[in-house]
Structure 1
Amino acid sequence: MKHFLIEITYTVPFSTLEAVVPEHRAFLQTGYDKGWLLLSGPMNPRTGGIVVARAPSQEDLQYFFSGDPYALRGFALYRFVEFDPVKYQPFLAEWIQEAP
């Protein structure tokens, strides 16, 4: 598995997409259920969000996020940064080292 930091940047004011947040979070839950997402949350100030993820490839992850309600409505842009987690807390070892 490859590991990624995903930066989500809103292209509209938060007030425009606020009603879609529950759909976005339900979408993210499908990524958690697949074992692809480790953590996610909004930036401060609320101009976007951050996700730490893993996937077989960047293309797979990009395809997954193309189904995000924010993406489907044109409310956000996504930046995918692949990285190699060489140092991490011991409690993360299983998630980092195993394939889902």
Structure 2
Amino acid sequence: MISKYLAPLDEVDRARDDHLAFLGGLEERGLLVSAGRQDPAVGGVVLLGVDTEGEARELMAQDPYLLRGLAEYTAIGWTPARGVLAGWEPA
């Protein structure tokens, strides 16, 4: 999932702790592969270990950024073929 911020960065940052806690919950459930903010900070990237776009959208629907209208997400499917994530399987 690739996010695009819809609000000024200072407003997004006020919700960042809640967003990171949300991502931490996904990580605890074994659903988060990796996540981070884009540089420059216009949004972020969240790699989820799920099978379908529908599952990804359902999970991200609970993100505080989305719930507060601070960001929107675009789903992009991806299968890593090279590098450290090649052959990655969910835990």
TM more than 0.5? yes
Offset at 1:86?
2.1
Q: Deviations over 1:33-82 (max 9, x none)?
A: 12121211111121111122210321011010000000001110101110
> Could you state the TM-score of these two structures normalised by the residue count of structure 1?
0.81
Query: Where in structure 1 are there 5+ consecutive unaligned residues?
Result: 1-5
> Could you state the TM-score of these two structures normalised by the residue count of structure 2?
0.88
More helix by share: 1
Percent of aligned positions that are identical:
26
Over 3 Å counting, the alpha-carbon distance change for 1:43 and 1:93 in structure 2 is: closer
Q: Which has the higher contact order (CA 8 A, sep 6+)?
A: 1
* Root-mean-square deviation (Å): 1.6
Q: 1:65 aligns with which of 51, 60, 63?
A: 60
2-structure distance, mates of 1:74, 1:28: 17
Matches within 5 A, 1:1-100: 6-89=1-84, 92=85, 96-97=88-89, 99-100=90-91
Q: Deviations over 1:10-34 (max 9, x none)?
A: 0001111211100000000111112
More strand by share: 1
How many positions carry a matched residue from both structures? Answer: 91
